């Protein structure tokens, strides 16, 4: 059975990574008091969410609040409740909140159709964020993504700490 979290207010909405560069697992976490949910995502998903949230922020006044940097750290337990699939973003003008919806990844069959049993029972996390929380998430996502393996100056592929076989250097 799927889980459903709907946070009208959150203490923290953040992204982080565990593991060494090249083998990191990216996680998004929402917390309110003792209640928390963690969702596994791809590095590109974290970067895309931040990019789209910045677009939303560009149309709004600058935020008045910002969470403390320590609030953006992942907190245990960090076991993922599900793997991220579809992402929804929006803005609620009446509450001046940005809505972020994270849906569970749904596998598809050979014809590309979603598995109906899983689709009906998928997990979802919905959070309503202040503009300051959104900006802090974006900054945290940018820093987390950039903290990975540096790109090779010749081929732009990521370089492992143990070395790099560059296709441009033969």
Half-sphere exposure of 68 (CA within 13 A, CB side): 3
Place of tokens 């441009």: 168
Pairing outcome for strands 124-129 and 97-104: antiparallel
pTM beyond 0.95: the answer is no
Low-confidence ranges of the chain (pLDDT < 50): none
| H or E, element range at 37 | strand 35-41
Q: Provide the pLDDT for residue 156.
A: 81
Find the domain containing 13 and state its range: 4-146
- Residue 83 sits in a domain whose CATH number is 3.30.2450
Place of tokens 């599900």: 82
> Is 163 among the domain residues?
no
Query: Structural domain tally of the chain?
Result: 1
């Amino acid at each position: 059975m799927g889980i459903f979290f709907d946070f009208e207010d959150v203490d923290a909405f953040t992204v982080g990574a565990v593991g060494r560069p090249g083998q990191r697992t990216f996680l998004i976490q929402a917390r309110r008091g003792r209640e928390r949910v963690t969702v596994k995502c791809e590095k590109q998903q974290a970067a895309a969410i931040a990019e789209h949230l910045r677009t939303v922020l560009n149309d709004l006044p600058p935020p008045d609040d910002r969470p403390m940097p320590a609030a953006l750290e992942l907190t245990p337990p960090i076991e993922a409740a599900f793997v991220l699939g579809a992402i929804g973003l929006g803005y609620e003008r009446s509450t001046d909140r940005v809505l972020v919806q994270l849906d569970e990844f749904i596998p598809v069959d050979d014809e590309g159709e979603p598995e109906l049993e899983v689709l009906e029972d998928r997990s979802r996390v919905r959070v309503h964020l202040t503009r300051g929380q959104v900006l802090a998430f974006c900054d945290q996502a940018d820093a987390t993504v950039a903290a990975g393996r540096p790109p090779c100056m010749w081929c732009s592929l990521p370089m492992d700490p143990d070395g790099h076989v560059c296709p441009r250097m033969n």
